Amino acid sequence: MGDVAVGARSGHDGEEHRGRPAESAVPAADSAVTSGSDSGAAEGDRVTDEHSTAEGQGPGGTARTPKKPRSFWKELPILIGIALVLALLIKTFLVQAFSIPSDSMQNTLQQGDRVLVDKLTPWFGSEPERGEVVVFHDPDNWLAGEPTTDPNALQTFLSWIGLMPSVEEKDLIKRVIGVGGDTVECKNTGPLTVNGKALNETSYVYPGNTPCSVDDQGGQFKVKVPEGYIWVMGDHRQNSRDSRYNQSDKNHGMVPVKDVVGRAIVVAWPVNRWDNLPVPDTFDQPGLNAQPAAAGLPVAPQGLALAGVVPVVWWRRRKP
């Protein structure tokens, strides 16, 4: 039976090649090589045919025509399409550029700076921490009365794919001072305190500014930040309409964590201002957490689990 099958297949191959031009034989050989359905003997016949044309000769002794490469102009739209998709994915899930429109974050950020914002870590449950510079959507009409620009079609397209900062989105950038559970207080000209701990803000507050603003519009305050919210302030304290001056809105000046776009991690433009945006050391001081005892709560379940596992392991080792 095996011999008959081989002979029939070999004869069939011979009929296929007889009198056929070299061009039609090449695709047949290619498809046969990638197919996994032929018998071993038939595959052997095909390999022999390919070997005979390895020197550039077809079955009839004619020269094999080389495959013409695809034109660059035909590949260009494909490459552009791939680049646009990648840029859109990066902007949506990884990093987005934002432009600084005002002086409220001087001297950390200057008007016209471009910053890159990390949008990836929030997807994994990361929440804003004290001292971080964050971009967030306007919580409740904070930007009322601010001038807006009218972008052209090219600017709109480039901002949509993330190659240019968006000029249409209602976003702000400030420094996180308090997170859920914190008590933030400002008296007289300062210092600003978080949970009773004074912050040393000389490294980022605008030179000549005081940590607290002496006025009756919000510069003097004591607030308790609810869970799921943050309290933000600009580094240019006497030139920043931040949480202090929006306490009459629906969130009492707080920014919902869900409205945070991400953390600004680096100044990308202009080139002479390239720099990262680290958390100042004052936010790492001991005892700053609102409820130090709460830090042990995540450990407690682990300790209970360990206490429960030890007897089980001991019992299994004793079991014959």
Tokens 């099958």 belong to residue: 5
CA distances from residue 25 to 60, 263, 301 in whole angstroms, order as listed: 10, 60, 70
DSSP-assigned letter for residue 26: H
119, 166, 174, 213: the catalytic one is: 174
Tokens 């991690």 belong to residue: 265
DSSP-assigned letter for residue 204: T
Q: Can you spell out the DSSP letters for 114-180? A: EEEEE-SGGGGT----TT-EEEEE-SSSTTTT-------HHHHHHHHTTSS--SSS-EEEEEEEE-T
91, 104, 166, 240: the catalytic one is: 104
24 catalytic per annotation:
no
Residues 47, 52, 57, 61: is their CA dihedral positive or negative?
A: negative
61: alpha, beta or left? (left if phi > 0; alpha if psi -120 to 50): left
174 catalytic per annotation:
yes
- Buried b / exposed e across 106-134, counting CB within 10 Å, b at 16+? bebbeeebbbbbbbeebeeeeebebbbbb
Residues belonging to the active site: 104, 174
